[in-house]
Amino acid sequence: MGLTQILFWLLSALAVASALMVITRKNPVHSVLYLVVTFFAISGHYILLNAQFLAVVNIIVYAGAIMVLFLFVVMLMNLNANSEPQKNKLLQFAGVISGGSLFLVLIAALIKSKEVSSAVEMQTGNYGLVKNLGQVLFKDYVLPFEISSVLFLSAMIGAVVISKKEH
């Protein structure tokens, strides 16, 4: 049993254990902190797969920025079950439409990934290089990339508005 295999099993056990702690903890702040541990374990798996770029992006984006936003929102929310507002039917409908759209995007990505995975398995092509990722991102997907940046900007503005106390 080599060092890589031992690291794989340790990281896997850590990821599964911390993911279970995320869903079993009653305190939402503790759940978010266990989620950070899960992200670090997943980044360790990326490093074992020789995907250092994904590992660094996972740590910076998810364990860093997104988790800070989660903690910020959790700490701002009043988590009393008694004062929880009733869900609006329009909001539920929007959630169903959003979830369905995400499902369609995932299916399209899985269908396209079959040709990519066969090229990676045969070790042909330049898949996985940062240069190719940047070219595809800024040539083929520049509009969705910019839309996501506007979405992040609106989320930050929303967080500032929510945190502002009314006088």
pLDDT digit string, tens, across residues 100-159: 888 888 888 778 776 655 554 555 555 556 777 778 778 888 888 888 888 888 888 887
> pLDDT class for 64, splitting at 50, 70, 90?
confident
φ/ψ (deg, to 5) at 19: -65, -40
**Which pLDDT score is estimated for 70?**
78
How many residues can be counted in the chain? Answer: 167
- Calculate the CA 164 to chain-centre distance: 27
> pLDDT class for 38, splitting at 50, 70, 90?
very high
Q: Which of 92, 100, 73 is nearest to 159 (CA)?
A: 73
**Which pLDDT score is estimated for 114?**
66
- Calculate the CA 125 to chain-centre distance: 27
Residue 35 exposed, middle or buried by CB count within 10 Å (0-12, 13-18, 19+): buried
* Same-domain check for residues 61 and 103: no
Task: Look up the domain containing 24 and give its range.
Answer: 1-80
Instruction: Mark which of 80, 106, 139 sits at the end of a domain.
Output: 80
Q: How many separate domains does the chain show? A: 3
* Same-domain check for residues 26 and 70: yes
**Which pLDDT score is estimated for 166?**
64
* Same-domain check for residues 135 and 167: yes
